[in-house]
Amino acid sequence: MKDPFGREITNLRVALTQECNLKCFYCHNEGEEENNGSKLGYEEIKEIIKTASGLGMYKVKYSGGEPLLHPEIEKIIEFSAKYMDDVSITTNGVLLKNKAEKLKERGLDRVNVSLDTMDPGTYEDITGKEKLQEVKEGIEKAVEVGLFPVKVNMLLMDDLNHQDVWKMIEWASEIGAILQIIELTSNEEEVDKTFYRKYHRSLNDIAEELKRRAVYIEERKMHARKKYFLESPEAEVELVRTMHNSTFCDNCTRLRITSDGELKPCLLRTDNHLPLREENEICVGIKDKFIKAIDRREPYWSDDDGRKR
């Protein structure tokens, strides 16, 4: 199904729960305004997935909070794999070591793991927990059981972890994972501007060095992101720049669902949601809600960087 701007909607992003086992100081709760402990149940997910599939969506990614804390995560993955061609999760990796193999067996295709540093002290400063070793072992286990690709998401923060970039590249190379280095965004709906000024660091210097070292460079159409393939160390590195550009919006194929059961037509907006629940249950007219949400989609950024409101 296409939105009013001709963009085919193929991807569904679902925040399963707001519960998390880390306390990352930069967490934005997937754009949910209030952390009220909300969670989507298995029966709700079944209706959501069947509806999305019937409308032509064939990819789903689960996030949180921390999706591996959801008590029915294995059942959710297994059911999703029956309807979707691509099933993935974004996780902090703390529980991944013990769950990766079973999730793979249930139909999980790939995984993104948030990890910003190789330094235990810095990791604790960022997350509030001493869980670095568990996360590293979880990522290694995901690679071992054949989840592919395994992507490591590193949010770059000035004077905090920017000096760890090449250590991260070398480690990802050693274990066979892809490193995604993410530039901190200044979207006023999610990131405090004082926070942005303190921690933002441009990816330009890293891009120049990667360009110098790369044997091959590829650009992903959807985001205009560049992927750098290095020979020494043998590594694949992707730079994820700020989403403040019309190319991102022009190629967006995603619809999102919050953990409290609201359809979110645009990642960057919080003022046009559609509730799927009525009296705490998924409503009968869920398909109509999906169609309305898709009809509400419009590019957040135009070609001249003026907002489409």
How far apart CA 225 and CA 213 sit, in angstroms, is 17
Question: Does 246 reside within a domain?
Answer: yes
| Mean pLDDT, residues 197-225 taken together | 90
Instruction: Tell whether 47 is covered by a domain.
Output: yes
Task: Note down the domain range covering 219.
Answer: 11-295
Q: Which residue has the higher pLDDT, 249 or 224?
A: 249
- Is 244 contained in some domain? yes
Judge whether 304 lies within some domain.
no
**130 within a domain of the structure (yes/no):** yes
Model confidence pLDDT, tens digit, residues 227-279? 999 998 999 999 998 655 677 788 889 999 999 999 999 988 888 899 998 76
What does the pLDDT look like over 95-150, one tens digit per residue?
Answer: 999 999 999 999 999 999 999 999 999 999 999 999 999 999 999 999 999 999 99
Tell me, what's the pLDDT at 210? 97
Tell me, yes or no, whether 149 lies in a domain.
yes
Q: How many domains does the chain have?
A: 1
User: Is residue 188 pLDDT above 50, yes or no?
Assistant: no
- pTM, to two decimals: 0.93
Domain CATH number, residue 150: 3.20.20.70
Is position 111 within any domain?
A: yes
Higher pLDDT among residues 27 and 248, named by residue: 27
Residue 305 domain flag? no
Long-range contacts of 188-196 (CB under 8 A, 24+ apart): 189/31, 189/268, 189/269, 189/270, 190/28, 190/31, 191/26, 191/28, 195/26
Position 35 pLDDT exceeds 70: no
Average pLDDT over residues 46-56: 97
Cβ 95 vs Cβ 21: under 8 Å: yes
For 70-80, the pLDDT digits (tens) are: 999 999 999 99
Residue 48: per-residue pLDDT: 96
Return mean pLDDT, the chain.
91
